[in-house]
Structure 1
Amino acid sequence: MALMRYEPLNLLNQLQREVNHLFATNRLVDEETGHVLADWMPALDIKEEPGQFVIHADLPGVEIKDIEITLEKGTLALKGQRASETKQETEQYRRVERVRGTFLRRFSLPDVADADKVSAKCKDGVLEVVVPKREAAKPRRIAIES
């Protein structure tokens, strides 16, 4: 049997971590004004292909009319909201994990992005945003003269 040293501060540190985790929030807050910009952030993938960048964002339960995509000064913003259910039932939930409210994701586009040809579509709760690359930005092979 091994002896363990009793450290009362370890218990306080563990309690502090658990309380911080309990009250942790994924909200995006504007540092200057303190206003809440987003209640949640959707999971997404960004893939670079030879001629374009493709962004896939998981937005289950978000209607297309509630999604706004803007592009300003090289920054692409995905913004929208998932509305809460309006059922007036007396059911008591044991666990609620699906987040409701406003979401916001912003990305700085590289110089090679063609901002005039950005397109988006949504199917089965997955938003796909395609950002093509400009023709001049595509790599080309340069011949070497002898």
Structure 2
Amino acid sequence: MAREREERGLARREPEREWLASPWEFESASPWSLMRRISDEMDRIFSDFWGRSFSWLPERRAPSAMRWTPAVDVFRRGDNLIIQADLPGVEPEDVQVEATEDGITIRGQTKHEEEEEREGYYRSERRYGSFHRFIPLPEGVKPEGATANFRNGMLEVSLPMTEETKTKRVNIPIQVSEAEKAKAGQAKKAKA
């Protein structure tokens, strides 16, 4: 019976790979990589069902190697919010940084050329592409006071924070209902 289904094209396809390899992968994955995986999975489902995918969409046209997004770290240093972006192989003049009250936009061009000549053969590789990364900012960050430095493939953007943005600790009292107080009192009596 299963062989008949295979011959007629009705056999159930085994998934090519698990969507998430382990439960812990979900915690470590970025929201954008998860969205990309969901998009890839939906593309596969549409392709299986209708015989074509949505790879004709502009952002899907580029091979995955060309869809590079720089890794960033966002943290506080003193009275400033710091954004560090890894931009290996990118020249400072090929990077543009814009700041608004909503966030920081980092965009630029990557150009990688590699030539090798040895033992009678010549190899030349060129990769070009653009990247774009938007980092939302919390309220109270002043984009007009932003500064940026680029050194050894690392872009660092520093934004001053207002007084309201700075961490303020407040102890919050926990309220307990009368029923919980009575239950706790009975438990103490039982232990004694």
TM-score, with structure 1 as normaliser? 0.62
Identity of aligned residues (%): 29
Matches within 5 A, 1:70-81: 70-81=98-109
- Partners of 2:131 and 2:144 in 1: CA distance: 24
Query: Does 1:121 pair with 2:149?
Result: yes
Q: Deviations over 1:59-98 (max 9, x none)?
A: 11100010000123422100011113174963388xxxxx
Matches within 5 A, 1:1-146: 12-13=14-15, 16-17=16-17, 34-36=57-59, 39-85=67-113, 87=115, 90-91=122-123, 100-138=128-166
Structure 1 unaligned segments of length 5 or more: list them.
1-7, 19-25, 27-33, 94-98, 142-146
Give aligned pairs, total. Answer: 114
- Partners of 1:73 and 1:133 in 2: CA distance: 12
Q: Describe the SS at the equivalent of 2:112.
A: coil
Q: Higher helix fraction: Structure 1 or Structure 2?
A: 2
Q: Describe the SS at the equivalent of 1:83.
A: strand
Runs of 4 or more consecutive aligned structure 1 residues displaced over 6 Å after TM superposition: none
- Conservation of the 8 A alpha-carbon contact between 1:61 and 1:125: yes
RMSD (Å) for aligned C-alpha atoms: 3.6
Structure 2 unaligned segments of length 5 or more: list them.
1-10, 19-35, 37-56, 61-65, 170-192
TM-score, with structure 2 as normaliser? 0.48
